[in-house]
């Protein structure tokens, strides 16, 4: 098995102006960034082209969402082909905010993942449990059912980076302990082994999202089944560089 390349994604969410993006590009250029880490930033759709022109070329740019059709009467949506047309090759799908604020279902997210892959994008599917689900001991049941919903539409696992995000730890300042996060990541890898293949289980990167900061990243990165991070607010600040360099 080749070693899984560490992956750090930044999800800017609904933040950013051209001048703020210039500032982010500046600290990313300054770095220095660990050359053994794949870095991707997820920006608002109106700034996809500007971000692709502005951030260093060795950093990927992701859309934060896209629809399951190539074109048509879907006001306010964007298609995978549009993302590619701007020179971007990634999309984040199924983020907890898309699920919990905008009501996207497991089925819709799965269909979006399938269409994005068929159109040649690389996909970061997000999934994770809410606080009540964790407290009632249902973490495994919830995350396995979310994965099971995606699986029929994942045609090429080499273009998928799974992002496990415990919803109770996003933007709350609560972080799963490195041991709690590792436990779920190990269960997810076992699920891939049991339901997809040994090869996919060994090669697929499973990244952690949930209030990752410069202070918490090193210990999380040392866990054997945590292959990187999906970072929210901290990706807008210079501390993002320290998170990218968590393995150094």
The dihedral built from the CA positions of residue 151, 157, 160 and 162, taken in this order, carries a sign that is positive
DSSP SS3 for 230: strand
Instruction: Identify whether 57 is a catalytic site residue.
Output: no
pLDDT score at 176: 85
- 95, 97, 133, 185: which is the annotated catalytic residue? 95
Tell me the CB-side half-sphere exposure of residue 246, using CA atoms within 13 A. 31
Q: At a CB cut-off of 8 Å and minimum separation 6, what does 94 contact? A: 104, 109, 112, 113, 125, 126, 127, 146, 150
Angle between the N-to-C axes of helices 106-118 and 139-150, in degrees from 0 to 180, rounded to the nearest 10 = 40
Instruction: Identify whether 95 is a catalytic site residue.
Output: yes
Per-residue pLDDT band for 152 (boundaries 50, 70, 90) equals very high
- Residue 197 predicted with pLDDT over 50: yes
Say if strands 60-63 and 6-11 run parallel, antiparallel, or are unpaired.
Answer: unpaired
- 89, 129, 165, 239: which is the annotated catalytic residue? 165
Residues 101-122 pLDDT 10s: 999 999 999 999 999 999 999 9
Separation CA 170–CA 198 (nearest Å): 31
Which strand (E) or helix (H) includes residue 40? strand 37-43
- Residue 78 predicted with pLDDT over 90: yes
- Residue 171 predicted with pLDDT over 90: no
Domain boundaries, the chain: 6-244
pLDDT score at 1: 42
Asked if residues 19 and 47 have their Cβ atoms less than 8 Å apart, the reply is no
Predicted TM-score (pTM) of the model is 0.97
pLDDT score at 238: 98
pLDDT score at 2: 56
12: nearest Cα among 240, 244, 248, 246? 240
- CATH class, domain 6-244, is alpha beta
Separation CA 30–CA 9 (nearest Å): 18
For 58, other C-beta atoms within 10 Å of its C-beta total 10
Residue 110 buriedness (CB in 10 A; 0-12 / 13-18 / 19+): buried
Between 187 and 2, name the one with better pLDDT. Answer: 187
- Residue 211 predicted with pLDDT over 90: no
Please compute the mean of the pLDDT values over residues 23-40 and round it to a whole number: 98
Omega of the bond leading into 45 within 30 degrees of 0 (cis): no
């Amino acid at each position: 098995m080749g070693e899984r390349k560490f992956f750090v994604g930044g999800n800017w969410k609904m933040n950013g102006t051209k001048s703020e993006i210039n500032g982010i590009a500046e600290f990313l250029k300054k770095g220095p960034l660990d050359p053994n880490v794949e870095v991707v930033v997820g920006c608002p759709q109106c700034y996809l082209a500007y971000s692709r022109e502005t951030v260093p070329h060795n950093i990927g740019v992701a859309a934060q969402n896209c629809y399951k059709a190539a074109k048509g009467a879907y006001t306010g949506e964007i298609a995978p082909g549009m993302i590619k047309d701007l020179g971007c090759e990634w999309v984040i799908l199924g983020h907890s905010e898309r699920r919990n604020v905008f009501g996207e279902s497991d089925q819709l997210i799965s269909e979006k993942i399938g269409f994005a892959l068929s159109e040649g994008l690389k996909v970061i599917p997000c999934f994770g449990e809410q606080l009540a689900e964790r407290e009632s001991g249902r973490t495994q049941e919830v995350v396995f059912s979310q994965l099971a919903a995606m699986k029929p539409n994942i045609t090429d696992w080499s273009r998928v980076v799974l992002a496990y995000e415990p919803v109770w730890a996003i933007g709350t300042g609560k972080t799963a302990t490195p041991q709690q996060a590792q436990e779920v990541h190990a269960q997810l890898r076992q699920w891939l082994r049991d339901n997809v293949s040994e090869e996919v289980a060994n090669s697929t990167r499973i990244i952690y999202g949930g209030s990752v900061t410069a202070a918490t990243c090193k210990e999380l990165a040392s866990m054997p089944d945590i292959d990187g991070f999906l970072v929210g607010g901290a990706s807008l600040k210079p501390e993002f560089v320290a998170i990218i360099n968590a393995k150094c």
